[in-house]
Amino acid sequence: MTHKTPKKQYHHGNLRQQLLDTAAVLIREDGEPALSMRKLAEKLGVSRMAPYHHFEDKEALLCGVAEAGFERFMHSVMAVATDLNALEVTPYSKDHLCLFVTTYLNFATQHPEYYNLMFGGHLWQSTTITDSLRDAGHAAFRSYVDMIRAWKNADAINPAVDPLRFAQLSWSTLHGMSRLFIDGIYVDEGVLTHLCHTATDSFWAQLHG
Amino acid sequence: MTHKTPKKQYHHGNLRQQLLDTAAVLIREDGEPALSMRKLAEKLGVSRMAPYHHFEDKEALLCGVAEAGFERFMHSVMAVATDLNALEVTPYSKDHLCLFVTTYLNFATQHPEYYNLMFGGHLWQSTTITDSLRDAGHAAFRSYVDMIRAWKNADAINPAVDPLRFAQLSWSTLHGMSRLFIDGIYVDEGVLTHLCHTATDSFWAQLHG
DNA sequence: AACGCAAACTTGACGGTGTCAAAATAGCGG
DNA sequence: CCGCTATTTTGACACCGTCAAGTTTGCGTT
């Protein structure tokens, strides 16, 4: 008979998870390029090579962090979708759309340490990107397209709209806005909320033109 | 009386410029993170510290490369603007708009080594970004807003459109598309041209709604 | 023509990085 | 208790950015 859960199964315990969490914290504090495996290991009171038993190399670790980011991201979006009623937002309305837009940008600007890895070129251009990360990314996009298809199936938008095409363009806009704010090219907080509304207007027009 | 131009003013000659050019080449080949000052110096047959006489540190060098990118970028955009007649594109037409969109994306996708530095977070988030680079970036955006103002002054768009607001949103879209293609998240070449047209349609609608 | 001087370049050294290889240790099933 | 595997450690290496101090070069002045 095995123990129910091997709580502390070794010297340190649940390293792997702590590596992911602490890496995210360190990246948030000092930026991704400043993260070093050695400092990360030291922060967890473990020798420099210990992390390599849980992640093949630094990039694999970052892929893991990005994957965790996708989990959080999906959770955020799902949460808003289910809380529509509680928020007194009527489905398929412009407010609904705006809520989605602001949710996306809030995640991006409030969790840049995740967003950068999730949608940055560093990992996606790399030849060693994890299969699971690639899947998570594709799944996220697919669920976005599915969301638009749902609008279409509910006769909430112009039937001539191509969901895939609209998804590609609108995601580009959301992604571009996110990047410009995260990268500090756009700075003003007020501009953000205003831009969210302008973007929503544009999306709404595309969906009903 | 000084010489008109000090052609070969020292051992090596016009290093500074070769540093900028070769750095761009190396980044294009292996990506920005793979660029090292030492390899760059060696490639030019010069000792490792030589570059530091022309650029304070690695980041300053990258700022220089980015600045060169802005020059090329502005040149590309200007060239299209002046060649409108030769290309048989009537000013302020939808084709005109589409031409601008494709020009932007062509630059981004064909010169990622410059685009990444010009509009990437690496330099803009850094506290040590060069003043001249900052100026170049702002100038580029300002000239974009001015272009839209010109359309407005020519009564070519809906007078209710706020040029700054439209510039921010449309630039976000262009930037987002560029990033997604450069980062290899969107891959298909055909999708690019199609997305350019979809984006143009959206912009056109915003300008004439 | 000689000199001086500043600009351009080199060499040595230091602390930091990712990670390969091999040794050490811990915990669990038999 | 033994042995086996999962986990962690230590040593070593090549590479990186760059500070400090030395060396070369070429031009302007005398």
The pLDDT tens digits for B197-209 are 999 999 999 999 8
Spell out a b/e string for B177-207, using b for 16 or more CB atoms within 10 Å of the CB, else e: bbbbbbbebbeeeebbeebbebbbbbbeebb
Instruction: Give CATH 1.10.357.10 domain extents, chain A.
Output: 58-208
Say yes or no: A82 contacts chain B, CB-CB below 8 A: no
Measured in whole angstroms, the distance separating CA B138 from the mean position of its chain's CA atoms is: 12
The whole-angstrom separation of Cα B102 and Cα B31 is 24
For residue B49, say whether its CB is under 7 Å from any atom of strand C: yes
The integer distance in angstroms from the CA atom of B1 to the C1' atom of C6 is: 19
Q: Hey, what amino acid is at B45?
A: G
The integer distance in angstroms from the CA atom of A35 to the C1' atom of C12 is: 29
Query: Which positions of strand D lie within 7 Å of protein CB atoms?
Result: 7-11, 15-21, 25-28
Q: Out of A172, A183, A202, whose CB is closest to B125?
A: A183
Chain A to chain B Cβ contacts (< 8 Å): 102
- 3-state helix, strand, coil split of chain B in percent (to 5) is 70, 0, 30
Query: CB within 8 A of B58, min separation 6: which ones?
Result: B37
What is the pLDDT at residue A100?
97
CA within 13 Å, CB half, B194: 12
Domain boundaries A1-54, CATH class: mainly alpha
SS3 of residue B2 by DSSP: coil
Say yes or no: B104 contacts chain A, CB-CB below 8 A: no
In this complex, the residue with its CA at the shortest distance from the C1' of nucleotide C8 is B10
B28, two tokens: 């294009």
The pLDDT tens digits for B67-79 are 999 999 999 999 9
Q: Which CATH number fits domain A58-208: 1.10.10.10, 1.10.357.10, 3.40.50.1820, 3.40.50.720?
A: 1.10.357.10
Question: Is the CATH code 2.30.30.30 the one for domain B66-208?
Answer: no
For residue A160, say whether its CB is under 7 Å from any atom of strand D: no
A104, two tokens: 């996306």
A:118-147 residues touching chain B, CB 8 A cutoff: 119-122, 124-125, 137
Taking residue A109's Cβ as centre, other Cβ atoms within 10 Å add up to 15
Q: What is the pLDDT along chain A (209 residues), one digit of tens a residue?
A: 333 334 445 567 789 999 999 999 999 999 999 999 999 999 999 999 999 999 999 999 999 999 999 999 999 999 999 999 999 999 999 999 999 999 999 999 999 999 999 999 999 988 999 999 999 999 999 999 999 999 999 999 999 999 999 999 999 999 999 999 999 888 788 999 999 999 999 999 999 98
The integer distance in angstroms from the CA atom of B104 to the C1' atom of C19 is: 41
State the alpha helices, DSSP H only, in chain A: 15-30, 37-43, 58-82, 94-110, 112-119, 121-124, 131-153, 163-182, 189-208
Q: Out of B116, B124, B185, whose CB is closest to A185?
A: B124
Segment B187-193 shows an average pLDDT of: 88
pLDDT tops 80 at residue B7: no
What is the pLDDT at residue A10?
59
State the alpha helices, DSSP H only, in B83-186: 94-110, 112-119, 121-124, 131-153, 163-182
Instruction: Give CATH 1.10.10 domain extents, chain B.
Output: 1-54
Burial (CB count within 10 angstroms: exposed 0-12, middle 13-18, buried 19+), residue A72: middle
The alpha carbon of residue A91 is apart from the nearest alpha carbon of chain B, in Å, by 24
Between chains, do A202 and B199 touch, taking CB under 8 Å as contact? Answer: no
Q: What is the mean pLDDT of chain B?
A: 93
Between chains, do B122 and A33 touch, taking CB under 8 Å as contact? Answer: yes
A178, two tokens: 């996110």
A:31-70 residues touching chain B, CB 8 A cutoff: 31, 33
Q: Is the distance from CB of A106 to CB of A182 less than 8 angstroms?
A: no
Instruction: Give CATH 1.10.357.10 domain extents, chain B.
Output: 66-208
pLDDT tops 60 at residue B62: yes
SS3 of residue A131 by DSSP: helix
The whole-angstrom separation of Cα B149 and Cα B164 is 9
What is the pLDDT at residue B13?
75
For residue B35, say whether its CB is under 7 Å from any atom of strand D: yes
Burial (CB count within 10 angstroms: exposed 0-12, middle 13-18, buried 19+), residue A6: exposed
pLDDT tops 70 at residue B32: yes
Integer CA distances (angstroms), B206 to A154, A202, B167, B171, in order: 26, 7, 11, 13
Say yes or no: B176 contacts chain A, CB-CB below 8 A: yes
- Give the chain A residue whose CA is nearest to the CA of B194: A165
Q: Which nucleotide is nearest to B9 (CA to C1')?
A: D26
